[in-house]
Chain A
Amino acid sequence: MSMDGRIRRLAETDRPPVDFVLDGRDCRALVGDTVLTAVLCNAKTLRQAEFGPEGRAGFCLMGACQDCWMWQENGPRLRTCSTPIAPGMRLMSAPPGDWP
C-alpha cells in the first residue's frame, strides 16, 4: 500500500504537531485534525472493505455512513470522521489477529 497521503492540506497549517502510530509506523498530524484527516495525510486508505477487495477512506464525513471506522491497538474502534486525533493513538487499518 502506498505511504503517500490521499489528502492535501490547503489551509490552517500553523497548528502544533501531534504524533501517532498507524499500523506500527510513526506518523504526524496537527492538533485539531480528525483521526480521518490525520490518517489520510499519511495513507491512501483507512481500512480494507469487509465484503470487497477495495480499500475504504470514508464517504460522508458527517457520521452518517459509518464507512470510516478504524481499529486501535488498545481500546474501542473509532469513527474517524468524528474523533479528534490524540497524541500517542495507536491506530490499525485491519482488526487485530485474534479477532474472531
Chain B
Amino acid sequence: MSERVVIVGAGPAGIRAAEVLTQAGLRPTVVDEGMRCGGQIYRRPPEGFTRTAEKLYGFEAEKAQALHASFGRMLAEERLAYCPQSSVLSVAENGLQVLTAAGLHHLAFDRLIIATGATERVAPVEGWESAGVYGLGAMQIALKSQGVALGRRIVLAGSGPLLTLVAAQLLDAGADVATVLDTSSLATQMRGLPLMLARPGLVARGMAMRARLGRRYLAGVRLDRIETSRDGVEAIAWSHRGTSHRTKCDAVGLGWHLRSETQLAGLAGADFRYDDTFAQWLPQADSMGRAGDRLYLAGDGLRLLGADGAQITGRLAASACLKDMGLPFPDMRADLRRMQRLDRFAAGLSRAFPWPAEAVRRLPDEAVVCRCESVTAGALREAVDAGASEANRAKSLSRVGMGRCQGRYCQLAGAEIVAARAGLAVAAVRRLRDQAPVRPAPIGALSSALDPTPAKSPSDVAS
C-alpha cells in the first residue's frame, strides 16, 4: 500500500502540491476549511454567483481560473480525496484531528504537507475592537465572495500591497472609499524599491493602481485613534506632517501585510526563528520545504511570497515528499531559480511597507491589544512589571493571546509591547507556544471523540 499523504489547505500551495502528487500516481487527501477550493486570494464566491473571473480577480484572473480548473479536474477524475468545510484542530502522532459539521474525525497520515496560508498582520489602533473595523483582507473577501462593501463610507489604513489593491478594487466596484492612509512614508517606500524591481511588472501595476487612488492616498500617516459609538465606527483621527485630521466613516480596514499561519506547523514539530525581514516568527525548513520528519510546509504559512510563490513552494514540497518516498520526482531547478527572484521582491516589500513597531510600542494604556477579551496595553504592561517579560508568561498573567483567536491577531503587537516595557529585543520575548485545538470546537464534539463507541469507519476512531 502506498503511503498516505495529507495536504492541509486548498489554496494555491495546496492545489499545486496535490497536482504534483497526483501526477506521480498518488491519491492525496486535501483538507480545507473553505466551502470551495482556491484559498483566500483566489477565493471563489458561492455557487450561483455570476461575476466573471476578470471582474473578481482582475490581472490574476487567468491564474485563478487555472488553479480552480486544475483542482476541479483532479476531483472529477477522483485522483484525490477532498474534505471541504473541515477544520484541522490538532496534529497528533501520525494523525490530524479534523472537525466537520458531522463531528470530530481522526485522519491518519504517513506524510503531511501543511499549506495553511496567512492572515492579516494587524497592529492595534485605539478603538479597533469596535464593530466596523475589519482586516483589509476581510474587505477584499467580502467584495469577492459576497459582492458587498463592509461599510457605506470606508477608510483603509495600514501599509503593504493589499492597501492599494483593496482600495482600487472597492472603488471599481462602486464603494465609497473616503481615504487611504499608509503609515509608511514615501522615503521608506523608496528604500524597498530596488529589491522590488526583481518583479518590475508588479511594481508598475502597483504604481498604476496607486495613481488611480489620486488624492485619496496619503503616505507617512500616523493613526491616532478610531472614534466609536455603541453601533460602531464613527470616524478615524490621524496625523500627517504634524497636522491632525479626522475623517468620518462607518468602516475601517486595517492591515500591514501578512502574518504566516503557523500553529499547525508548530504542533507538528517545526522549529521557528524570528525573521527580521518579515518581523515575525517563521518556521524553519530547507529550500524544498522540509520542516521535520515527514513534515513539509508550503505557501504563505512558510514564507510570505504571495500566491505566485505559494504555487512554487507547493510544488517543491510535494516534490520533496515524492523524493523522500523513493518515488520519481519532477525536476524543480527552474522553480528554485524563480524563488530567488520572489525572495528579493518579498524582502523589498517588507522594507517598503514595514510593520509599525514604534507605533505599537507607543499605544496608550487604554488601547485594547487583545480583541477577544478586551485586554488593554496597560494591563499587559502591568504584567510585564510583575515580572512577565516572556511571551507565554505575559499571556498567562494578562490573558493577551489566550482568547479564542488563539493570539493570531494580538501576539505580534503583544510581543512589541512586552519588549518595549522590558527593554528587550522583540525576538528575546520569544514565541507563543502553539496550543490545540487551533479552532474552537464544541464540547459535544470533543466528548464524543473520547467515547469508546466505534465511529463510522476504523480510520475515524480517535486514538
A-B contact pairs, 26 of them (CB 8 A): A7-B149, A7-B150, A8-B148, A10-B173, A14-B50, A15-B49, A32-B48, A41-B148, A44-B232, A45-B231, A49-B129, A49-B374, A50-B373, A54-B228, A55-B130, A55-B131, A55-B231, A57-B131, A59-B409, A60-B134, A60-B137, A63-B439, A64-B119, A65-B135, A66-B372, A82-B35
In the complex, the answer to whether B135 meets A59 with C-beta atoms within 8 Å is yes
Interface size on B, residues (CB 8 A): 58
Specify which chain B residues have a CB less than 8 angstroms from the CB of A66 in the assembled complex.
372, 403-405, 439-440
Complex Cα distance A88/B372, Å?
30
Given contacts A37-B142, A64-B261, contact A10 B232 (CB under 8 A): no
Given the complex of chains A and B, what is the CA–CA distance between A28 and B150 in angstroms?
18
A11 x B51 contact (CB < 8 A)? yes
Hey, which chain A residues are within 8 Å of B138, CB to CB?
58-62
Question: Does B143 reach chain A (CB closer than 8 Å)?
Answer: yes
Contact residues of A: prevailing secondary structure:
loop
Closest to A49 in B: B374
B33, B47, B129, B173, most chain A CB atoms within 10 A: B129
CB of B174 closer than 8 Å to a CB of A: yes
* A12:B49 contact, CB within 8 angstroms: yes
Are A54 and B230 in contact (CB-based, < 8 A)? yes
Contacts of A44 in B (CB 8 A): 131-132, 231-232
Nearest A residue (CB) for B40: A62
- Across-interface contacts of B137 in A (CB, < 8 A): 60-62
Cα of A56 to Cα of B150 in the assembled complex, Å: 13
Q: In the complex, what distance in Å separates the CA atom of A65 from the CA atom of B39?
A: 16
A15 to chain B: which residues have CB within 8 Å? 48-49
Is A67 an interface residue, CB under 8 A from the partner? yes
The 3 closest A-B pairs by CB, nearest first: A12-B147, A11-B147, A57-B131
The contact of B46 among A32, A41, A46, A67, by CB within 8 Å, is: A32
| Residues of B37-77 contacting chain A, CB below 8 A | 40, 45-51, 55
Per-position contact with A for B199-235: 1 when CB-CB < 8 Å, else 0? 0000000000000000000000000000010111000
Asked, given contacts A7-B142, A59-B135, whether A54 binds B148 with beta carbons under 8 Å apart, the answer is no
Contact in complex: A12, B232 (CB < 8 Å): no
Contacts of A31 in B (CB 8 A): 48
Taken together as a complex, chains A and B put the C-alpha atoms of A50 and B374 apart, in Å, by 8
Tell me how far the C-beta of A4 lies from the nearest C-beta in chain B, rounded to whole angstroms: 9
Within 8 A of A (CB), among B237-253: 250-251
Q: Are A32 and B47 in contact (CB under 8 A)?
A: yes
| Interface residues, chain B, with chain A CB atoms under 8 Å away | 33, 35, 40, 45-51, 55, 85, 87, 119-120, 129-135, 137-138, 141-143, 146-152, 173-175, 228, 230-232, 250-251, 261, 368, 371-375, 403-405, 408-409, 439-440, 442
Chain A residues whose CB sits within 8 angstroms of the CB of B33 once the complex forms: 63, 82
CB-CB under 8 A for A57 and B132, given A10-B174, A37-B142: yes
Given A32-B47, A54-B228, A66-B440, 7 more pairs with CB closer than 8 A: A11-B51, A12-B50, A32-B46, A59-B138, A62-B141, A63-B33, A84-B46
Q: Which residue of chain A has its CB nearest to the CB of B444?
A: A76
